[in-house]
Amino acid sequence: MAWERECEESHRRELRRRRDVVASAGSAGIGVPSRFAGVTIHAVDDIGVTASCIERWWSGKPCFLTITGPVGVGKTHVAAGLAHHLWAKGAINCRSFWTAGELIGHLRRCVGQGNVEDVLDAIKRVPVLIIDDLGREAATDWVRSLVLELYDYRYREVLPTVTTTNLTLAELGETFDERLSSRLASGEVITLDGKDRRVT
Ligand SMILES: Nc1ncnc2c1ncn2[C@@H]1O[C@H](COP(=O)(O)OP(=O)(O)OP(=O)(O)O)[C@@H](O)[C@H]1O
Ligand SMILES: [Mg+2]
C-alpha cells in the first residue's frame, strides 16, 4: 500500500511539474516547435475551436482529428495546445509531434541506415501522434505508401492521431489516396477559417 501511495504521489508530482513547464513556456520535449512553447488548449478558444470541442474528441474513443484551413489561421497553434494539454495530462510521454516533412525526412534517412521498418513501426504505435502540415511535401509513390501504411495502422488500432493540413479531405485524397481521405473523414474534422494571423 505504501508503495502504491508513493507511486500515485510521484505521478501527481510529475503532472504538476508538467503543468508548470507548459505555464512557463518550457520545452515539453515532445517535438512541438519552440515558437509554440507555452501554448495551451485554452489559447485556442478565440479562434472558435474550443477546449471543450477537443475534450469531447478526447473523451470519446479518439482516433482521427483533422484540422484543415488556409495559411496562417492557427492550425499548428491548435495542434500545439492540444499536444501540451495531453502531455500535461500524462497521455503523451515521448516524441509525438512531427511536421509531415520532418517525419518523411527522418524516415528517408533511416532507409539509408537500414532501420526504416523498425523506426516506422515505433512511430506507428506511439500512443498519440500529431502530424503537422500534411500534404506540402512531394507525394512520391514511396511517400504515398508510407503515409497510407501509417494512417491505416492507426485507423485499424483506433489510435489518437491529429493531422493539420492546408488541403481539404478531397485534395488529400487526390494527393495520397482516397483510402486516406475516407479514414480521416470517419473521425472529427475541424475547419478553421479567417485571416492569416501572421500578417494581421
Ligand atoms: N489563437 C491564437 N492566439 C494567438 N496567436 C495565434 C493563435 N492562433 C495562431 N496564432 C499565431 O498566428 C501565427 C500563425 O498560426 P499557425 O502557425 O498556427 O497557422 P497555420 O494555420 O498552422 O499556418 P500554415 O498553414 O502556414 O501552417 C503563429 O505565430 C501563431 O502563434
Ligand atoms: Mg502550420
Rounded (10°) angle between helices 178-185 and 141-156: 30
Ligand nearest to the CA of 198: 1
* Ligand 1 proximity of 197 Cβ (cutoff 6 Å): yes
Task: Kindly give the number of the ligand 1 atom that is closest to the alpha carbon of 196.
Answer: 14
The amino acid present at 36, given as its one-letter code, is F
Percent of the chain with pLDDT over 90: 83
Could you report the per-residue pLDDT of 157-185, keeping only the tens digit for each?
999 999 999 999 999 999 999 999 999 99
**pLDDT value of residue 43:** 67
Is residue 194 very low, low, confident or very high in pLDDT (cuts 50, 70, 90)? confident
Q: Which CATH class is domain 2-191?
A: alpha beta
25: left (phi over 0), alpha (psi -120 to 50) or beta: left
Could you report the per-residue pLDDT of 23-78, keeping only the tens digit for each?
999 999 999 999 999 998 876 666 566 677 788 899 999 999 999 999 999 999 99
Nearest to 129 by CA among 106, 171, 99: 99
**pLDDT value of residue 55:** 84
> Which residues, 6+ apart, have CB-to-CB distance to 85 below 8 Å?
40, 41, 51, 54
Distance from the CA of 99 to the center of ligand 2, in angstroms?
Answer: 9
For the chain, the domains span 2-191
Predicted model pTM: 0.94
